[in-house]
Chain A
């Protein structure tokens, strides 16, 4: 017995000692570590174009103002990742006044060093650990000349970097030049700029990795002479040429791009403009491609020997018979080019399917896609170029393990294609009003996803993790869980919605760029749609798109369009959503059903006492009341639906202004339930669970609670068994 006790004591001592050794060796962990696919939504409007007065006057502009005309000739050295060459920019002065100083973007200098504004805003780093010297990128302007009929004037000496946003002297993402003499209003000026762009290891959206080169924001691009965006601005116009920030995107004038690109002959190339106008094979095993595109405001390209090109045509009339009912605006043919990674061969059909659906619905709802081609690029792993839009070219992103129930690549494809409309064709200032493209497009994406597909499912990857720049594993499809899309009770808005007013410049948010550029504006548009009605929203969006295609609209332009088309003053809506950080939260405070007692006590009429039995009651058995409350600071009119036990329903309207509102009824039946905002118009409501109250019997038990609790019990039971050793 003694022996056993000693062994036991020794072993406990041994285990403790081993624990100490292990912890000392391994290190103490920190305390906190630790289908038919087409399912038409019957509520989508189905008008024929021109059959209603409002639609008759809507005309899409045939072309843009073409303020800029870029002619470029560049060559990519795939060993050094350097693009060298020149551009000739012809700029048309439509500012209404003479111009002599011209700002240009030089975005690749954001990755020149760790002192740029981009790096500063990313925490003094470029989001890639251990960057080697050759991994940084830059654009070096070699010379700037003004071309005139009588000759050229070198103005390189006037070149200087400016920092209009933050004054950071180390930031070289914007430069300015001065022409020898002012360019009169209505006249044009031609600049010839020689430059060299070194591609970085991809840090944000662009760069070279292995033999994949995604080339965006790569050439000196002139700023926009523009009126202030906000109502109450100073007016008059000014150059708008922002530095490159961590979060923000871009802004440029429409025009023509005529670009010659020379790459090794073995490389496949895709670019804005789609199909090259000419292809020249050079003697030095390189090939020169000439891309040409009118009425766009940027130019991007991609090249790699590994890209697999597939070309198909989008033909609107080829839609399946059951897709036809929604075909109310005939659309042009579009050549769709999909460039995929070799390992994503199984995704080619899904990329095409999603692009075709997006071409169709965006075209039918807002106006046809005007260009001949669109190029879809499946990005290389770890290239950080996925999910990005450029004129007539966009990048998707997926993995070969994505099951058909997961919206990848469908979601990103529809979204990035959608930017051809919101960013590409309607060219708002993405620096200052990102919601006008990201928010509008998130709203539109949500509509396309809900219209064109059965709901996608939640998917989780097991037994894997990060690697090759993505996340891999064995996918598990939760067939019970539909992807929610945009819906009320958004956690991000609830957590961080008060941080910022939505209408702010993109680099001035307190960690809410994504929330205020994507989620909140998209939810606000759904809310607007539900307040105006689907038909009216369709008119608003179509009118806005037609009116501002190839233009640079502002928020106020959209608000004016809403008020004009809907013939309603919707300013209250925008004050409470776009121009406020207040949150919506309406709820039912309480329901009370009181039995009206029989008359008792002393009653009198004209000074004469009355017998209580003579008192006439209203004949109703109950006095019922519902108190609706406003817990958030944002205000919107709401409906309240009250249901009585006998099936009777009352619908009330409340302006939602004061903190609460009481509705009182005398009825033969008690109230059984009350719901505020029963049609879920207020999708920005941060808590939909408190929107209803149901009067339950004492013994009532929630079946849903039992359903989920039993699943949780099973989970725990299994957990204990897996965990025990």
Chain B
């Protein structure tokens, strides 16, 4: 089975699941609006009665931004907004956060605070972390639906998609918790250690190039390892569905085994899909930069462009599930997948 044929076949399958992709986008928008609408409300109330309203439409004013943040200094929602909302900076910002495990560590810290100190951190961090956790749950639901319908040979219905999402939700959510543990260990033990180390290791360097190279190499290595771990969990999900597994933990090991046995091709497929993601980002960045955002219709156009991008991103996400499921099924069909990690035998 070639990478390309899995890629083609997977994307063909996605084209039959447009409603499901739109549903995934709708869920994403819904979660974002929980944070965005209160922000819009605050900003609208703050600006509408001033002449700054007009000025800010044409020119970003960092000094005004500082005043705004200070006037709402107790609102973590407002404090969280910074320059990275502009242009294609969100992608840089989020990739950096991903590479440093900001979200995973926040969730880990949030949960450990909750469990071990009986303390709920208040404010924006908690809101976004809680929403993030819920979104992880939603993703588990959607992943179950997507992988299940892509593992079938007939054209799926939306009802099937929702039903299968519900069917696999428990297993996938458990797998997400396992993923949280693995990522948390990865970031706190390895990535944080490297991040703390680089300033020390490069302290006496005569040139900043040394530190720059350290960070870039670190970034590439972390990106690679992270992609491998992500891929392992993708195949773990697939094996839960295709192999009809119950244990999330053993599915993780099974996913790892499959990934390692078929590493080159599995990773090739993964990189190919990531490349599509990069192309989408570049396209978005190029188009967004062309629109002068200082009047009503251009703003509408940019908003639509953003949502088109998000739909494309959801389409790609479904593409990951479809292509990898197809790849796994083809490999499983062509040879017996080693079952050296058997499910535990418990009497029923």
Please report which residues of chain B, range 197-222, place their CB below 8 angstroms from some CB of chain A when the two chains form the complex: 198-199, 201-212, 214-216, 219
Are A722 and B94 CB-contacts (below 8 A) given A34-B125, A468-B202, A468-B211? yes
Enumerate chain A residues within 8 angstroms of B125, measured Cβ to Cβ.
34
Tell me if A464 and B83 are in contact (CB < 8 A): no
Chain A 685-710 interface mask (CB, 8 Å, partner B; 1/0): 01111111110100011111111111
Chain B 177-200 interface mask (CB, 8 Å, partner A; 1/0): 111110111001100000100110
Q: How many A-B residue pairs have CB under 8 A?
A: 333
Tell whether A266 is near chain B: CB-to-CB under 8 Å: no
Tell me if A694 and B68 are in contact (CB < 8 A): no
Measured in the bound complex, the distance between the Cα atoms of B21 and A67 in whole Å is 82
Measured in the bound complex, the distance between the Cα atoms of B96 and A33 in whole Å is 18
Measured in the bound complex, the distance between the Cα atoms of B183 and A22 in whole Å is 11
Measured in the bound complex, the distance between the Cα atoms of B246 and A495 in whole Å is 57
**How far is the CB of A182 from the nearest CB of chain B, in Å?**
52
Tell whether B317 is near chain A: CB-to-CB under 8 Å: yes
Enumerate chain B residues within 8 angstroms of A22, measured Cβ to Cβ.
181, 184-185, 188
Enumerate chain A residues within 8 angstroms of B211, measured Cβ to Cβ.
464-468, 470, 472
Tell me if B207 and A688 are in contact (CB < 8 A): no
Tell me if B44 and A702 are in contact (CB < 8 A): yes
Enumerate chain A residues within 8 angstroms of B33, measured Cβ to Cβ.
713
Measured in the bound complex, the distance between the Cα atoms of B346 and A722 in whole Å is 38
Q: Taking CB as reference atom, which chain B residue is nearest A700?
A: B48
Q: Taking CB as reference atom, which chain A residue is nearest B62?
A: A484
Are A382 and B204 CB-contacts (below 8 A) given A6-B346, A720-B31? yes
**How far is the CB of B50 from the nearest CB of chain A, in Å?**
5
Are A722 and B57 CB-contacts (below 8 A) given A381-B208, A487-B63, A702-B47? no
Chain B 246-271 interface mask (CB, 8 Å, partner A; 1/0): 11110000000000000000000000
Please report which residues of chain B, range 90-145, place their CB below 8 angstroms from some CB of chain A when the two chains form the complex: 90-99, 103-106, 108-109, 111-113, 115-117, 119, 121, 125, 128, 131-132, 135-136, 139
Tell whether B238 is near chain A: CB-to-CB under 8 Å: no
Are A694 and B53 CB-contacts (below 8 A) given A7-B344, A468-B207? yes
Tell me if A467 and B203 are in contact (CB < 8 A): yes
**How far is the CB of A496 from the nearest CB of chain B, in Å?**
12
Tell me if B86 and A480 are in contact (CB < 8 A): yes
Please report which residues of chain A, range 449-505, place their CB below 8 angstroms from some CB of chain B when the two chains form the complex: 458, 460, 462-470, 472-474, 476, 478-484, 487-491, 494-495
Are A716 and B36 CB-contacts (below 8 A) given A19-B115, A31-B117, A724-B135? yes
Measured in the bound complex, the distance between the Cα atoms of B86 and A704 in whole Å is 14
Tell whether A620 is near chain B: CB-to-CB under 8 Å: no
Measured in the bound complex, the distance between the Cα atoms of B195 and A703 in whole Å is 41
Are A725 and B184 CB-contacts (below 8 A) given A464-B211, A689-B50? no
- For the residues of A in contact with B, the DSSP-based class is mixed
Tell me if A711 and B86 are in contact (CB < 8 A): yes
Tell me if A7 and B346 are in contact (CB < 8 A): yes
Enumerate chain B residues within 8 angstroms of A675, measured Cβ to Cβ.
51
Tell whether A617 is near chain B: CB-to-CB under 8 Å: no
Measured in the bound complex, the distance between the Cα atoms of B313 and A422 in whole Å is 56
Are A707 and B299 CB-contacts (below 8 A) given A15-B177, A18-B181, A343-B208? yes
Chain A 599-620 interface mask (CB, 8 Å, partner B; 1/0): 0000000000000000000000
Enumerate chain A residues within 8 angstroms of B181, measured Cβ to Cβ.
15, 18-19, 22
| Contact segment of B12-20, B158-166, B302-310, B326-334 | B302-310
**How far is the CB of B236 from the nearest CB of chain A, in Å?**
12
Chain B 46-69 interface mask (CB, 8 Å, partner A; 1/0): 111111111011011111101111
Tell whether A717 is near chain B: CB-to-CB under 8 Å: yes
Tell whether B230 is near chain A: CB-to-CB under 8 Å: yes
Measured in the bound complex, the distance between the Cα atoms of B64 and A606 in whole Å is 59
Measured in the bound complex, the distance between the Cα atoms of B174 and A37 in whole Å is 59
Tell me if B66 and A489 are in contact (CB < 8 A): yes
Measured in the bound complex, the distance between the Cα atoms of B71 and A352 in whole Å is 42
Measured in the bound complex, the distance between the Cα atoms of B206 and A468 in whole Å is 7
Tell me if A488 and B63 are in contact (CB < 8 A): yes
Measured in the bound complex, the distance between the Cα atoms of B215 and A723 in whole Å is 22
Enumerate chain A residues within 8 angstroms of B203, measured Cβ to Cβ.
382, 467-469
Q: How large is the interface on B (under 10, 10 to 19, 20 to 34, 35 or more residues)?
A: 35 or more
Tell me if B317 and A721 are in contact (CB < 8 A): yes
Tell me if A693 and B50 are in contact (CB < 8 A): yes
Among B85, B90, B215, B295, which residue has its beta carbon within 8 angstroms of that of A467? B215
Chain A 392-429 interface mask (CB, 8 Å, partner B; 1/0): 00000001110000000000000000000000000000
Enumerate chain A residues within 8 angstroms of B189, measured Cβ to Cβ.
26
Chain A 355-384 interface mask (CB, 8 Å, partner B; 1/0): 000000000000000000000000011100
Tell me if B89 and A489 are in contact (CB < 8 A): no
Please report which residues of chain A, range 624-661, place their CB below 8 angstroms from some CB of chain B when the two chains form the complex: none
Enumerate chain B residues within 8 angstroms of A663, measured Cβ to Cβ.
none
Tell me if A688 and B57 are in contact (CB < 8 A): no
**How far is the CB of B52 from the nearest CB of chain A, in Å?**
6
Measured in the bound complex, the distance between the Cα atoms of B46 and A65 in whole Å is 58
Measured in the bound complex, the distance between the Cα atoms of B198 and A469 in whole Å is 11
Measured in the bound complex, the distance between the Cα atoms of B317 and A717 in whole Å is 14
Tell whether B176 is near chain A: CB-to-CB under 8 Å: yes
Are A722 and B207 CB-contacts (below 8 A) given A481-B62, A694-B51? no
Q: Taking CB as reference atom, which chain A residue is nearest B309?
A: A714
Tell me if B53 and A704 are in contact (CB < 8 A): yes
Tell whether B32 is near chain A: CB-to-CB under 8 Å: yes
**How far is the CB of A245 from the nearest CB of chain B, in Å?**
27
Tell me if A705 and B48 are in contact (CB < 8 A): yes
Tell whether A718 is near chain B: CB-to-CB under 8 Å: yes
**How far is the CB of B170 from the nearest CB of chain A, in Å?**
6
Enumerate chain A residues within 8 angstroms of B248, measured Cβ to Cβ.
11
Tell me if A400 and B208 are in contact (CB < 8 A): yes
**How far is the CB of B65 from the nearest CB of chain A, in Å?**
9
Tell whether B81 is near chain A: CB-to-CB under 8 Å: yes
Tell me if B303 and A710 are in contact (CB < 8 A): yes
Measured in the bound complex, the distance between the Cα atoms of B83 and A96 in whole Å is 60
Tell me if A465 and B215 are in contact (CB < 8 A): yes
Measured in the bound complex, the distance between the Cα atoms of B299 and A483 in whole Å is 24
Tell me if A696 and B48 are in contact (CB < 8 A): yes
Tell whether A8 is near chain B: CB-to-CB under 8 Å: yes
Measured in the bound complex, the distance between the Cα atoms of B177 and A466 in whole Å is 33
Tell whether A210 is near chain B: CB-to-CB under 8 Å: yes
Chain A 430-464 interface mask (CB, 8 Å, partner B; 1/0): 00000000000000000000000000001010111
Enumerate chain B residues within 8 angstroms of A463, measured Cβ to Cβ.
92, 95-96, 99, 215-216, 219
Tell me if B90 and A715 are in contact (CB < 8 A): yes
Enumerate chain B residues within 8 angstroms of A29, measured Cβ to Cβ.
105, 108-109, 112
**How far is the CB of A32 from the nearest CB of chain B, in Å?**
9
Chain B 16-39 interface mask (CB, 8 Å, partner A; 1/0): 000000000000110111011001
Tell me if A703 and B89 are in contact (CB < 8 A): no
**10 tightest A-B contacts by CB?**
A467-B211, A709-B40, A723-B103, A467-B202, A722-B94, A713-B36, A705-B43, A704-B56, A3-B348, A489-B67
Question: Can you sample 16 A-B contacts with CB below 8 Å?
Answer: A3-B246, A11-B178, A22-B181, A22-B188, A210-B204, A400-B209, A466-B198, A476-B92, A482-B60, A702-B44, A706-B40, A706-B44, A711-B86, A720-B28, A722-B94, A724-B136
Instruction: Give 10 new A-B contacts, CB below 8 A, not counting A23-B116, A381-B208, A705-B53.
Output: A6-B346, A15-B177, A19-B115, A343-B206, A466-B198, A467-B212, A710-B303, A711-B85, A715-B93, A723-B94
Please report A residues at the B interface, Cβ cutoff 8 Å.
1-4, 6-8, 11-12, 14-15, 18-19, 22-23, 26, 28-29, 31, 33-34, 209-210, 306, 341-343, 380-382, 399-401, 458, 460, 462-470, 472-474, 476, 478-484, 487-491, 494-495, 673, 675, 686-694, 696, 700-725
Please report B residues at the A interface, Cβ cutoff 8 Å.
28-29, 31-33, 35-36, 39-40, 43-44, 46-54, 56-57, 59-64, 66-71, 81, 83-87, 89-99, 103-106, 108-109, 111-113, 115-117, 119, 121, 125, 128, 131-132, 135-136, 139, 170-171, 174, 176-181, 183-185, 188-189, 195, 198-199, 201-212, 214-216, 219, 230, 233, 246-249, 289, 293, 295-296, 299, 302-303, 306, 310, 313, 317, 343-344, 346-348
